[in-house]
């Protein structure tokens, strides 16, 4: 097995391992674990993964993957046990850098992505080191986020409306089960007369990584904020739903005050400065430490099939 190549951009590094067959994956062992803890992202090329079952078996080399995406805001479908589609979002739009389920009380430690069919153009899954992003922020911006945290707001419809329904989000039609989940998540919630559900969750903007002890950027404030929509779609959506309070999701500072355009721009600029995109090849396996590294998706053309597992 050859020594990995280190691909870098700004403060982000990705360790690229090129192997000869699928059997090489278990042999990476502690070497791969060490690379993930140091760099936060590893790409393994040459495994020959061709099906969802192949991918599921590869993920299980590292542990048992999550079998539910309950409470997740992202539209995705289950392909096999522990295997999901990557975010089902129109191909013409990018998906901004984010940490998976950072708005939830629990989140996956590591994410596993597999490319079965590369896009014709674009479609990479770029990564960004959260330590570098945090360090690159203006101290005043960093202080506002660390001191106030982030407030995530959702308006989930009961079957008709924009975004995911509460039934799809929580994988049940039982209101009591939803309430039990939200109480366990320390979330505030209220049902509307139209069977819609409003949810508020307050989380830190940064956290200490459990292995390294480093403070990392760990939130989805800029992604959840309505300004993340392309072009004039933000204004159109706000008008269509009757105001920002009715948006499928939105974000504010943790004290309830509005996120400023300048602070959001600073976060997005810092993310761009440290974002590394490596074009997919068929059979590639990308592993991301979900707290150390953010991920996203480039817009693309053609048929693209990328799957994800979470541990």
For residues 120 and 88, membership in a common domain is answered with: yes
For residues 256 and 204, membership in a common domain is answered with: yes
pLDDT at 289: 98
> Confidence band (pLDDT; 50, 70, 90) for 2?
low
For residues 85 and 163, membership in a common domain is answered with: no
The domain that holds 39 is classified in CATH as 3.60.130.10
For residues 178 and 155, membership in a common domain is answered with: yes
- The three-state secondary structure class of 170 is helix
For residues 202 and 303, membership in a common domain is answered with: no
List the beta bridge partners of residue 157.
Answer: 165
For residues 117 and 46, membership in a common domain is answered with: yes
For residues 78 and 112, membership in a common domain is answered with: yes
Q: Using alpha carbons, list the distances in angstroms from residue 262 to 55, 265, 269.
A: 41, 5, 10
**Burial of 179 (C-beta count, 10 Å sphere; 0-12/13-18/19+):** middle
Look at the block and give the residue holding tokens 């508020």.
Answer: 200
pLDDT digits (tens, 9 = 90+) for 202-226: 999 999 999 999 999 999 999 999 9
pLDDT digits (tens, 9 = 90+) for 123-169: 999 999 999 999 999 999 999 999 999 999 999 999 989 999 999 99
For residues 59 and 97, membership in a common domain is answered with: yes
Supply the DSSP symbol for 157. Answer: B
Range of the domain at 56: 5-130+275-310
Contact yes or no for 102/295 (Cβ under 8 A): no
For residues 77 and 150, membership in a common domain is answered with: no
* Mean pLDDT score, 19-39: 90
For residues 94 and 151, membership in a common domain is answered with: no
Look at the block and give the residue holding tokens 């791969």.
Answer: 32
How many CA atoms lie less than 13 Å away from 37 in the CB half-sphere?
10
**How far is Cα 151 from Cα 98, in angstroms, rounded to an integer?**
15
For residues 120 and 209, membership in a common domain is answered with: no
> Comparing 152 with 74, which gets the higher pLDDT?
152
As a whole number of Å, the end-to-end CA separation of the chain is: 26
pTM for this prediction: 0.95
pLDDT more than 70, % of the chain: 99
Number of domains in the chain: 2
Contact yes or no for 290/122 (Cβ under 8 A): no
For residues 152 and 27, membership in a common domain is answered with: no
Look at the block and give the residue holding tokens 């539910």.
Answer: 68
**How far is Cα 65 from Cα 220, in angstroms, rounded to an integer?**
23
pLDDT digits (tens, 9 = 90+) for 239-279: 998 899 899 999 999 999 999 999 999 999 999 999 999 99
């Amino acid at each position: 097995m050859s020594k990995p190549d280190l691909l870098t951009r700004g403060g982000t590094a990705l360790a690229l391992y090129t192997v000869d067959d699928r059997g090489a994956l278990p042999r990476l062992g502690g070497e791969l674990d060490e690379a993930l803890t140091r760099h936060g992202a590893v790409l393994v090329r040459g495994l020959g993964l061709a099906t969802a079952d192949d991918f599921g078996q590869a993920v299980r080399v590292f542990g048992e993957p999550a079998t539910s995406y309950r409470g997740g805001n992202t539209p995705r479908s289950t392909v096999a046990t522990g295997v999901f589609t990557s975010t089902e979002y129109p191909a013409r739009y990018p998906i901004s850098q984010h940490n998976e389920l950072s708005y939830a009380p629990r989140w996956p430690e590591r994410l596993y992505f597999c490319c079965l069919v590369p896009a014709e153009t674009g479609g990479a899954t770029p990564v960004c080191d959260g330590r570098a992003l945090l360090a690159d922020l203006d101290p005043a911006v960093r202080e506002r986020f660390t001191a106030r945290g982030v407030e995530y707001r959702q308006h989930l419809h009961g079957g008709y409306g924009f975004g995911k329904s509460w039934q799809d989000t929580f994988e049940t039609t039982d209101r009591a089960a939803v309430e039990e989940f939200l109480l366990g998540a320390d979330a505030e919630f209220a049902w509307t007369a139209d069977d819609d559900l409003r949810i508020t969750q307050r989380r830190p903007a940064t956290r200490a990584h459990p292995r390294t002890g480093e403070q990392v950027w760990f939130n989805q404030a800029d992604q959840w904020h309505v300004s993340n929509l392309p072009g004039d779609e933000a204004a159109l959506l706000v008008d269509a739903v009757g105001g920002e309070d009715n948006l499928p999701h939105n974000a504010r500072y943790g004290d309830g005050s509005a996120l400023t355009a300048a602070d959001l721009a600073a976060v997005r600029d810092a993310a761009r400065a440290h974002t590394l995109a490596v074009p997919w090849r068929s059979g590639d396996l990308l592993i991301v430490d979900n707290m150390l590294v953010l991920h996203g998706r480039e817009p693309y053309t053609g048929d693209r099939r990328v799957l994800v597992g979470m541990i």
